[in-house]
Amino acid sequence: YFFKWQREAINGLIEEAILEAEGKGTKGDELNKSGEVYIQKYPQLKVKVVDGSSLAVAVVLNSIPESTTQVLIRGNLSKVACAIALALSQKVTQVVTLHRGEHEKLKIKIGMGDNIVLSKSYAYKIWLVGDGISDEEQLKAPRGTTFIPFSQLPPKELRKDCSYHYTPAMITPMSLENLDSCENGLPRRVMSAWRVAGIVHALEGWNVHECGESMFDVERVWQASLQHGFRPLTTSKAYSINE
């Protein structure tokens, strides 16, 4: 789905899925893109379009050590990335960028004064990474760096002297059955935050869309996920589902 020439076909399939869900009275459906075009085209939809961004943000925020005062953000500045930067800035955690264009984009998007920092240094121990991070950038990270993805697909794990978190995801409750396959390199019985968000929205009966530029309450969706039995992943890739 990264190929531009396939976008029209994929968008058509997504549109068909939404209309089919609407026709069948489906209560919840999740999409891995922003989806705002569909609610603009069909404003009377009863089915809710949920891209899951708020829960992805919550998972990343809860993966960052509490003592962290600075993070380096690399990769494409997506909706999720900007929301993470805003939340960290509000906690007085500095969000560091390496390129002026990225720095200006974050300043325009979220402001937050001195907490958005432009730097030429790679010497930060916590890296928040998304689609677009290059191999060369990873190789410049100091030994012992922790890479925390905010994208749906994980970065290449090029560094044996660094640690890599899973992409935003949660362990599913045992009451959720028929989970027989793995998603994007995640362990069994682990589901991406974007999918979990769709389930939680349906369980809670939240009568709102989360797509386009809109973002649901990050803390509210995090707490609701925990209440429904979803659990955070451990930070280590050497992970057992029975722990």
Q: Render pLDDT for 118-142 as a digit per residue (tens, 0 to 9).
A: 999 999 999 999 999 999 999 999 9
What pLDDT shows up at residue 37? Answer: 62
User: Distance between CA atoms of 55 and 216, rounded to whole angstroms?
Assistant: 8
Residue range of the domain that includes 130: 71-164
pLDDT at 199 over 80: yes
User: Any idea how long the chain is?
Assistant: 243
| Domain presence at residue 4 | no
Q: Do both 55 and 119 map to the same domain?
A: no
- The residue out of 130, 164, 198 marking a domain boundary is 164
Separation of alpha carbons 136 and 119, rounded Å: 17
Same domain, 146 and 222: no
Enumerate the H helices of the chain as residue ranges: 7-24, 36-41, 53-61, 79-90, 100-110, 135-139, 193-204, 218-227
Tell me whether residue 18 is in a domain: no
| Mean pLDDT (whole number) for 110-120 | 87
- For residue 160, being part of any structural domain is answered with yes
Q: What one-character DSSP code corresponds to residue 117?
A: E
Asked whether residue 57 falls in the same domain as residue 98, the answer is no
Q: Which CATH number do you get for residue 157?
A: 3.40.50.720
- The model's pLDDT over 67-100, given as tens digits with 9 standing for 90+, comes to 999 999 999 999 999 999 999 999 989 999 999 9
Query: Looking at the domain assignment, is residue 8 inside a domain?
Result: no
Same domain, 143 and 75: yes
In a domain, 11, yes or no: no
Domain end position, chosen among 117, 139, 164: 164
Number of domains in the chain: 2
Q: Are residues 95 and 148 part of one domain?
A: yes
Which of 164, 198, 225 is the C-terminal boundary of a domain?
Answer: 164
Cα–Cα distance measured from residue 118 to residue 104, given in angstroms and rounded to the nearest whole number: 9
20: left (phi over 0), alpha (psi -120 to 50) or beta: alpha
**pTM summary value:** 0.81
Res 21 pLDDT > 80: no
Residue at 50 is within a domain: yes
Alpha-carbon dihedral 104, 106, 107, 108, rounded to 10 degrees: 90
83 and 160: one domain?
A: yes
Q: Nearest to residue 35, comparing CAs of 51, 12, 47?
A: 51
Whether 171 and 59 map to the same domain: the answer is yes
